[in-house]
Amino acid sequence: MINKTMKLITGTFLASLLMAGKTLAVDACQQRQQLSGGRTIYNKNETGRGNGNYRYEIWRDGNGGELTLYPKDACFKASWNNAGDYLGRVGLVWDQYINYKNAGGDIIANYAYKKTGDDGGTYSYIGIYGWMDNPQIEYYIVDDWLHNRGAPGGSWMGSQKGTINVDGGTYKVWSGTRTGASKWGESTFTQIFSVRTTQRQCGQINVSEHFRQWEKLGLRLGSVMEAQILAESGGGSGSVDFTYAAVEIGKGGSNNASYNGGQQNSWNQQGGQQQQSASSYPKGTGMQYYSQCKNPKQWAMTFDDGPTQFADAVLDYLKEKGVHATFFVLGNMYMQQSDPNWSRIIKRMYNEGHVVGSHTYSHKDLTTISYQEIRNEMKQLEDAVYAAIGKKPAFMRPPYGSGNGNQNVIKALGDAGYHAAITWNLDSGDWNNKDVNYARQVFSGANGQGSISLNHLQYNGSTKDSILALIKAEMDVMLQKGYKMVTMEECLGMSAYQ
């Protein structure tokens, strides 16, 4: 059914890990112009080199399949007519297999296409395809299909392992074992599928984020051999015409982003290690206070006092823009830790790539309470966070930013396992009912130094619209000044969890 793929690989080819980062800033959904030119491979099973570092493959069972390689990035058109099985794909193939966690950035695909045909035979997939080694894994990320029977799924894909929220949508994850044709000839291997519950015909797929989420579901992954944009059909007739297609590894850490003035999808994730893959960050070397990032032009946006009634709206906005922030949360303020929504929101923050830190359990000024009371405040909150995500914070934000130089506070936090007490050098003023113009003025004063900004998920007089307006204004200013948005892990270069 789907394992014809590797019969045609006759050698290994080096694909560049970095392709100048040129396409990640593109809004693929705006790339709808019909392409022409290039060359077409008719009724053959063939693999070869496409544009630049891209590799292509066409495979069909019987006649009636062709692949047109357009002279632009990884763009192609896949067409078939009564082929028993057909696949066409273009993307990256690595000669030396990569560990996605330290590949220099996230594996990102951007695409837009037009499709014809409404059957797709017994199955059809449009999305991302690849293999891993040690263990042997064939994987799919399915964003669309041709038939009208609903999203692919069933026992032939193994068993459903759970659902994940990635790339602005919900995916069902399936996994099972299969024996058949593979990279290694006939072998037994694992298959993993992420299948989007709602179809789309353009957008961005963060392949690395799918990998992270699969691991959180308990799936063991291997070294990545390839990541290719795919059109596959188990019969019928149709075509998938990619007017835009690119697969790249983003440069420079967790959230190297570009901005084009507020259009949808204008902040584009360029990869790097997000907090779920933070094992490469070292532990801290003793409790210290920090008020700025270690590197110039890095900016960590932080939010205090959550979870709140506005948390989901903020998370929706950050997901839309493809960026990550740091949330210093409380157990007893706007939302009680006993509220089921408290754990749900904490899990969502973590699952979507944000750092979760402590703001104490009940927002007491640590300079006014005893050593043991500080330990109790921290333990109550960290126990609740651990119950939600299975990790204890190593970063905290002291209420009111107090305690720097106070040996009782520093010793209590250090003994509790905290690496960093984090204040700020950019204050939005939201807590004091300052407006967007005030925030713009403050952020305009950033002069290239590493920056940590202070926002709140709720404050006196706040509304969802006022909170989102501040976030957008701050992003406008900082990106125009050339800042890169990072989580607190990259900001400090140390692990966010104990």
- Catalytic amino acids? 138, 232
Spatial distance between the Cα atoms of 312 and 342, rounded to a whole number of angstroms: 11
C-alpha of 435 from chain center: 31
Q: Which two structure tokens, joined as six digits, stand for 478?
A: 């900082």
DSSP secondary structure, 76-113, as one string: EEEEEES-SSEEEEEEEEEEEEE-GGGSSS-EEEEEEE
Spatial distance between the Cα atoms of 376 and 444, rounded to a whole number of angstroms: 39
Residue for token digits 């006649």?
Answer: 63
Q: Which two structure tokens, joined as six digits, stand for 348?
A: 């969502």
Q: How many helices (H) and strands (E) does the chain have?
A: 8, 24
Q: Which residues contact 368 (CB under 8 A, 6 or more apart)?
A: none
Spatial distance between the Cα atoms of 29 and 111, rounded to a whole number of angstroms: 7
Q: Which residues contact 344 (CB under 8 A, 6 or more apart)?
A: none
The β-bridge partners of 329 are 306, 358
DSSP secondary structure, 151-173, as one string: S--SGGG-EEEEEEEETTEEEEE
